[in-house]
Structure 1
């Protein structure tokens, strides 16, 4: 009887979180399975994850994105833009399913994929807007000290990382928040309307 109640509670607690959508608030390590401690990838802030199950401090997640033909260790937010969602070790053996493939204007093939991986059960939020607000404040309060801050829509998604990297060491933006600000700038760039 006690075993049946325990199993029911365990099933309920696991299924309670199944298919819950969350967003990463920091860079998160990715693992190939629930028992591994070997980091085989990194998930960047503001990435949307679907939680499949929670168990012993780790969560099984799925992440959607795009892979460029010939680049098997990077998953991007959208096609043709270098907005990284996840960077994977070349030796990693993650479960990656291709959903569809299409050619871009330059002839390069991009595949929509779903990555299944494990990560620690922390630094996740349902509130994407609060992450963007934090990044916006960090950018505005630090990047307007020496000169007027650039408008977020001044540069393209592919231009922002190098522009930000060239100046960030002159700011007080903590290292742990730099990817958050970069993601905010890229996802709100002038060529990201409607994304």
Structure 2
């Protein structure tokens, strides 16, 4: 009786989170297995994941995105733009399934993929809007100290990281929030309308 009750509660706990869409609220470590403590990748803030299974310590997640053909250590938000979703160790052995292939406007081939990984249960949220609101407030309240803040749609997704990096050390934006702001700026850049 006790054993079947525990099994039933475990199945219920796992099923409550099955296929739940969540977003990373911070940079999160990625692991190849639930019982592994070896960090083999990093998930960036605002990245969407599908929680497939949730256990006491870690969640099994799926991350969908784009990999440049022949490059297996980075997953991007869209093809042709350097909006990083996850960076992976070169010696990582993650389960990556290729869904399709296509070329960007420059003729570079990209693979749409789903990566299966594990991450700790903290810093995952169901709502992306508060993350974007926080990033926008950090940007507007800190990046107008020396000059008027650049309009978010002034630069492309590929231009924003270097523009932000050139100025961020003059601000009070904490280091742990810089990826969040960069992700926000890139995902709202002038060339991201309709993405």
Runs of 4+ in 1 over 6 A off after TM superposition: none
**Contiguous gaps of at least 5 residues in structure 1:** none
Structure 2 match to 1:69 = 69
Question: Within 2, Cα distance between the matches of 1:92 and 1:50?
Answer: 20
Structure 2 match to 1:107 = 107
Structure 2 match to 1:130 = 130
Question: Within 1, Cα distance between the matches of 2:61 and 2:147?
Answer: 41
Aligned residue pair count:
195
Q: What RMSD, in angstroms, separates the aligned Cα atoms of the two structures?
A: 0.6
TM-score by length of 1: 0.99
Structure 1 match to 2:192 = 192
TM-score by length of 2: 0.99
Superposition pairs of residues 40-59 of structure 1, within 5 angstroms? 40-59=40-59
**Contiguous gaps of at least 5 residues in structure 2:** none
Structure 1 match to 2:177 = 177
Question: Within 1, Cα distance between the matches of 2:56 and 2:171?
Answer: 39
What are the superposed Cα offsets for residues 102-154 of structure 1, whole Å, 9 maximum, x if unpaired?
A: 12222211010001000000001111010000000000000001100000000
- Structure 1 residue 70, shift from structure 2 partner: 2.3
Superposition pairs of residues 4-19 of structure 1, within 5 angstroms? 4-19=4-19
